[in-house]
Structure 1
């Protein structure tokens, strides 16, 4: 599908052909009504998202890394998801990486021609030391961006797991990925402006990929981010509240216990739930591979 105008994301939306002649209220209603369809489009591809989560989980469990690769808005979405993981889940900065055509400059401004090179897509992953135990998610609303094609081709050649994320069916990038997530969000309110519905859908999917993967490797207890990295006052307060909520102790007692665990939430929870020492709590967590529920069971014996 090399003809850009044949892509659904490039077609004209019948609901907005007169948007330039609408009142502000009418414009917003059209945009909002179109956005309402995005969540349903994502829901329709949940089986494929599940396959992708399993592939990412297996990679992370076996010591691999997750790479999001895209150009323009797609690349920025990948970076946005990647950079949120270290503070939220205390992951190493290199565990989940966003790779954008044109490099860091392209985060704030377009880098002409960067997305048109398959070779650059492959080279950027090679520079980051991609291996067969890693997983690559190629993101492109059109499903045809050469930079993303090159990255997925290279990843497949070296044996890494590959996932495509696009808003067009039977896309080119899907030909080079084992798992295909094709979210049909339809024509945009402003023709071809895929930073709108397509990007919203992709952000929702990326949220699912990283969040579900983090849950599966033990970064969440109940629905709380127990691996939060306490790097500022807000996160310090969040850590105290998490520990207090889970263990049903006072704010001050939670704060005191966290001070003993160097503000690591997981061992603080185990200490308060089982009345063991900080060292014993950390040992239990190690035996439990970081899963708090299992660590509490171990420490309680």
Structure 2
């Protein structure tokens, strides 16, 4: 890719950051961050194609794998970890993998992202197959750990997507459904945990949320399948049951919710004709 330019590595548009006041730093960072949702809006058609393909896989019993290194890997793991409690999807359907393994979630593992074979080896541990969908995440679009895995997936007929922040990157060439959110140079030169990381988080939110809605894990605008894992969620669920069943008594709705284990099951049970 002779014309490939790493926009994410270009020099910051701002200089003398160490001479700025705190107010100036915050204002200028916020000014840069405002560009991120605009950049995401430009690639909604790319995201749409990815989501449509992903929904088909999940509805057919497949799984979603996120694969990344560093910040990108952590963002994938974060998104994957939030699916079961938010939408009640069983563990193991959305899986986040990071270069260097679980240790790398908290601290960097030296050179793990440079191993072009390890990403595929990590996927093999989970018996990945052509029923599944693999999304590689790399701000630079050049991470060997991710690219190698996507290339192996493609050679085996496994559907792939990618999220990157450089146009025409190697990761896009390796993916069936590439998403490229070009947010420009970072406020601190090369620090892709900033705008690039924000862009990736927004895209991940869009992918997982729209997919969960399309496979029926949301009714109207409510998380009717959420896990009742803390008091806040139990309270939210109780109020949803009250609204859906037109029950005015909080305790009655709460007992129904706890009896059936989810808003959807409680509402379906009471609405089902006897």
**Could you state the TM-score of these two structures normalised by the residue count of structure 1?**
0.87
Residues 96-116 of structure 1 deviation map (CA, whole Å, 9 limit, x = unaligned): 000000000000011111100
Q: CA RMSD in A?
A: 1.6
Mark the runs of 5 or more structure 1 residues left unpaired by the alignment.
Answer: 278-301
Residues 1:19 and 2:17 aligned together: yes
Q: Determine the C-alpha separation between the residues in 1 that align with 2:217 and 2:164.
A: 28
Residues 1:91 and 2:95 aligned together: no
Query: Which structure dedicates a bigger proportion of its chain to helix?
Result: 1
Residues 102-158 of structure 1 deviation map (CA, whole Å, 9 limit, x = unaligned): 000000011111100111011111111100010000000000000000110111122
Q: 1:156: which partner in 2?
A: 154
Q: 2:273: which partner in 1?
A: 276
Q: 2:252: which partner in 1?
A: 253
Shift in Å, 1:173: 0.6
1:50 equivalent among 48, 51, 71: 48
- Would you say the 8 A contact 1:11–1:191 is kept in 2? yes
Q: 2:118: which partner in 1?
A: 120
Residues 168-203 of structure 1 deviation map (CA, whole Å, 9 limit, x = unaligned): 000001111111100001000000000000000000
**Could you state the TM-score of these two structures normalised by the residue count of structure 2?**
0.96
Q: 2:129: which partner in 1?
A: 131
Q: 1:62: which partner in 2?
A: 60
1:179 equivalent among 177, 180, 192: 177
Q: Determine the C-alpha separation between the residues in 2 that align with 1:145 and 1:271.
A: 49
Shift in Å, 1:2: 8.4
Mark the runs of 5 or more structure 2 residues left unpaired by the alignment.
Answer: none
Q: Determine the C-alpha separation between the residues in 2 that align with 1:160 and 1:192.
A: 32
2:232 equivalent among 231, 234, 249: 234
Q: Determine the C-alpha separation between the residues in 2 that align with 1:86 and 1:40.
A: 30
Residues 201-222 of structure 1 deviation map (CA, whole Å, 9 limit, x = unaligned): 0000000111000001110011
Judge which range, 231-240 or 42-51, deviates more.
231-240
- Would you say the 8 A contact 1:2–1:144 is kept in 2? no
The higher-RCO structure (CA 8 Å, 6+ apart) is 2
Aligned residues: 273
Shift in Å, 1:249: 1.4
Q: 1:29: which partner in 2?
A: 27
Judge which range, 243-252 or 21-30, deviates more.
243-252
Q: 1:290: which partner in 2?
A: none
